[in-house]
Structure 1
Amino acid sequence: MKKHAISYAIIRFQPHVETEEFANIGIVLVAPRMSYLDFRLETKRLGRLTSFFDSVEAATIRAVLKNYHAELTRIKDIAGHNGNGQTRFEFKLTDNADHLFHALTKDREGIIRFSEVRFAMTDSPKNKLDELFDYYVGRNFASSVYREGLLERHVRNMLKLREIDRNFKKRSFNDGVYSATFPFVEIVDDKPVKILKPIYLGQDDPTRILDHGNKWLFTINRLKQVLPRHIVFAVEGPTGPSLRQRAFREAIDQFRASDIQVVDATKERELLQAVDS
């Protein structure tokens, strides 16, 4: 597919000019040759804003974002793009979207600010917009996969400090149909004797916590005949009392009911005892 040049800017919420602190809340993107101008703005999940900017009332934040969403929608409508590469107007608005984009993102005082304009190439401006939003606002780089990777790195460093990392190897197991790879499998006399699997269960939704826990529970139960008996899950859970904590405790109980040893990944002593046992 043909690639298009696009420009984009990150929309930022900056209520206190004095401190220059801000939070990313959206993306505005333009593909000039397509007369494409669109945006994504976070208007629902505002916990990060209300907790960080605790001197600003939640109702005020919601009102600001609601009004700004309406303003961006109005500007998008003026650009005249209907989402499939065609303008809604019969007459041609030369560089209309591009002019609107640069007027919109021009540096000015206010609660809503913009980053510097950035550039990229893409065959789908809409998909690129979603990708940028997920990265800069959704922070998908801090997803469960990312956090689990950090846990693995923490465990690996701990094993190196204990000078026993050479005993733990990455190993895959399969039953002929289903397979799974574990980052730390203790090998003694060329035989796997223990699995140490870091698992992140601090997702922002209780369902996702249970889903991720159930994934690994299914894996262990499915491969039980080919895995070593001693299996340790080093887990990190959510903070604060909430439904997420309830889901986390339920996941832990299910692990233990399947004879899986569970330790707190954030407590080095527990980890070391699990490794040495």
Structure 2
Amino acid sequence: MPTPHTYDYAVIRVVPRVEREEFINVGVIVSCPTARHLEARIELDEARLRAFAPSLDIDALRPYLDAIVAICNGDANAGPIAALPPRARFHWLTAKRSSIVQVSPAHVGRTTQPERVVEHLMQRMVRLPD
């Protein structure tokens, strides 16, 4: 029987008007230290974002979302945060902030297949039901 792993995850949100606290989920971050797995995935539904926030500059938003993925990947071009250990990067990325890009509180799960968690969460938390 495969070994179950505990993982933490947070949902990445776009909050066009912070004062209204309305948001659209656009991605997830998953940390599974026992499997040495840290991953972020972003999927922007541009039509949905434009309908939700017509004045939102999606092109200006992209670099901030791309930075999350680069930091998770430990990309050397992503700055000093990307050089931290994976668990520290996860905690830095999930720290509370008041900006157009926010993350949910961290949640915990268990799985025997850590490499499949991101896809499962994207389907459940980000993509619209078919």
Answer yes or no: same fold by TM over 0.5.
yes
Distance 2:99 2:114 in 1: 28
Distance 1:128 1:73 in 2: 16
The two structures have a TM-score, normalised by structure 1, of: 0.41
Q: How far did residue 103 of structure 1 move?
A: 1.0
SS in 2 for 1:133: helix
> What is residue 61 of structure 1 aligned with on the other side?
58
Q: How far did residue 15 of structure 1 move?
A: 1.5
Q: Look up the equivalent residue of 1:125 and give its one-letter code.
A: P
Q: Look up the equivalent residue of 2:70 and give its one-letter code.
A: R
Q: How far did residue 128 of structure 1 move?
A: 1.1
- Indicate if the aligned counterparts of 2:31 and 2:87 stay in contact, CA closer than 8 A: yes
Q: How far did residue 62 of structure 1 move?
A: 3.1
What stretches of structure 2 of length at least 5 have no aligned partner? Answer: 76-82
Distance 1:62 1:26 in 2: 17
Distance 1:35 1:71 in 2: 20
Q: Look up the equivalent residue of 2:54 and give its one-letter code.
A: D
Count the aligned residue pairs: 122
Q: Whose radius of gyration is greater, 1 or 2?
A: 1
The two structures have a TM-score, normalised by structure 2, of: 0.84
- Indicate if the aligned counterparts of 1:13 and 1:24 stay in contact, CA closer than 8 A: yes
Aligned match for 1:121, one of 96, 107, 110:
110
Q: How far did residue 34 of structure 1 move?
A: 2.4
Distance 1:99 1:33 in 2: 14
> What is residue 75 of structure 1 aligned with on the other side?
71
Higher relative contact order (CA 8 A, sep 6+): 2
What stretches of structure 1 of length at least 5 have no aligned partner? Answer: 80-92, 144-277
- Report whether the alignment pairs 1:100 with 2:89: yes
Distance 1:70 1:116 in 2: 20
- Indicate if the aligned counterparts of 1:35 and 1:98 stay in contact, CA closer than 8 A: no
Q: Look up the equivalent residue of 1:32 and give its one-letter code.
A: P
- Indicate if the aligned counterparts of 2:35 and 2:114 stay in contact, CA closer than 8 A: no
SS in 2 for 1:127: helix
> What is residue 253 of structure 1 aligned with on the other side?
none
Distance 1:68 1:35 in 2: 24
Q: How far did residue 7 of structure 1 move?
A: 0.1
Residue pairs, 1:1-277, within 5 angstroms:
1-43=2-44, 45-56=45-56, 60-65=57-62, 67-78=63-74, 96-139=85-128, 142-143=129-130
1:234-266 deviations in whole A, cap 9, x for unaligned?
Answer: xxxxxxxxxxxxxxxxxxxxxxxxxxxxxxxxx
Q: How far did residue 98 of structure 1 move?
A: 1.4
1:256-277 deviations in whole A, cap 9, x for unaligned?
Answer: xxxxxxxxxxxxxxxxxxxxxx
Alignment identity in percent?
30
SS in 2 for 1:70: helix
> What is residue 78 of structure 2 aligned with on the other side?
none
SS in 2 for 1:64: helix
Q: Which runs of 4+ in 1 moved over 4 A?
A: none
